[in-house]
Copies of this chain bind each other. A is one copy, B any other.
Amino acid sequence: MKKLINDPKDVVEEAVAGIGAAHPDLLVVSHDPTFVRRASGPVAGKVAIVSGGGSGHEPLHAGFVGHGMLSAAVPGPVFTSPTPDPIVAATQAVDGGAGVLYIVKNYTGDVLNFETAADLAEAEGITVASVLVDDDVAVKDSLYTAGRRGVAGTVVVEKTAGAAAERGDSLEQVAEVARRTNAATRTMGVALTAGVVPHAGEPSFTLADDEVEIGIGIHGEPGRERVPLEPVDRIVDRLLDAVLDDLGTASGDRVLLFVNGMGGTPLVELYVAFRRASEVLTEKGVQVTRTLVGNYVTSLEMQGMSITVTTLDDELTELWDAPVETAALRRGR
């Protein structure tokens, strides 16, 4: 294992300290319990938004704390959901009296820990609503699985919900925007190589030199199938077909196209992939009216990418366009 770290046990704490040192204008970091909140503090009467989950997916979530997006982020250990305590502490730190929305990626651990946190926060008199993100079409959503995973679409949900909170929507309304965004969003990913969890010291899985994993999850969970490495145009087609099929995208639809890097893929490759995806959509008569390309929801040093499509209407477009000022996404401020 080759990593720019000290003791694997200290990675998250040290990274969070670094996030605090790097963005003092945007963020304040709390240690013990560990969470990251907006430097500006709670705004009375405005809904606050808290998200979190295992670390190793940076900039998710701390990189999206700031005006127009999250009020606080709660990073757990690498690939492990945080416990309820820091979630409750973050909730108390950002509540402005109008309630707190939890944006939770749909993994058993995240669901259970945020559930407990919500119970504890409600016991402290804070109103909490929760929205699950489950955009990953690689997993069948059936009684026979833990349900779809929340992956790159989380960024889109955090952005639109954040904008809704910023414009003064009620907790119910913000939650509705988040749910609607999630319902309009689908993602599928591919991995070329695995990430290495610091405390494990070994790659999470092994792929042959000519093999890729289609439908990878962001913890390196396997996906739909392993296929031989193909030209990226073919891989994009596979991912996009699954996404559009599930979303029921039709000619004339307006969409956000988001090509997300898994952390170890050069940006130049993400742009090559974006080119294909946007060409295919255009050929199908779909209008790509908003775009995002980059490493936003990563899986340590995994090489790979995911493709996310969100169906946009006027309101979601407006919320996507709204000013945002965070470490990883900034626009209009």
Contacts and interface: CB of A to CB of B under 8 A. Distances in A.
Given A266-B56, A267-B263, A274 B5 contact: no
A2 B267 contact: no
A6 interface: yes
Interface string A1-36: 011111100011011111101110000000000000
A5 B21 CA distance: 37
A330 B17 CA distance: 24
B21 A266 contact: no
Given A21-B291, A293-B18, A265 B229 contact: no
A298 B269 CA distance: 13
B58 A267 contact: yes
A275 interface: yes
A18 B271 contact: yes
Q: How large is the interface on A (under 10, 10 to 19, 20 to 34, 35 or more residues)?
A: 35 or more
A134 interface: no
A271 B15 contact: yes
A271 B27 CA distance: 14
Given A22-B293, A271-B22, A193 B14 contact: no
A4 B273 contact: yes
A268 B56 contact: yes
Contacts of A301: 264-266, 303
Given A2-B212, A263-B266, A266-B301, 15 more contacts: A2-B229, A4-B273, A5-B272, A11-B269, A12-B268, A18-B271, A18-B272, A18-B276, A18-B278, A21-B275, A55-B268, A263-B267, A265-B301, A267-B295, A331-B333
- 6 tightest A-B contacts by CB? A18-B271, A18-B275, A58-B267, A4-B269, A18-B274, A15-B271
20 contacts: A2-B192, A4-B190, A4-B235, A4-B273, A4-B303, A5-B231, A5-B232, A15-B272, A18-B271, A18-B275, A21-B279, A22-B293, A56-B268, A58-B271, A59-B267, A266-B298, A266-B301, A267-B295, A295-B295, A332-B333
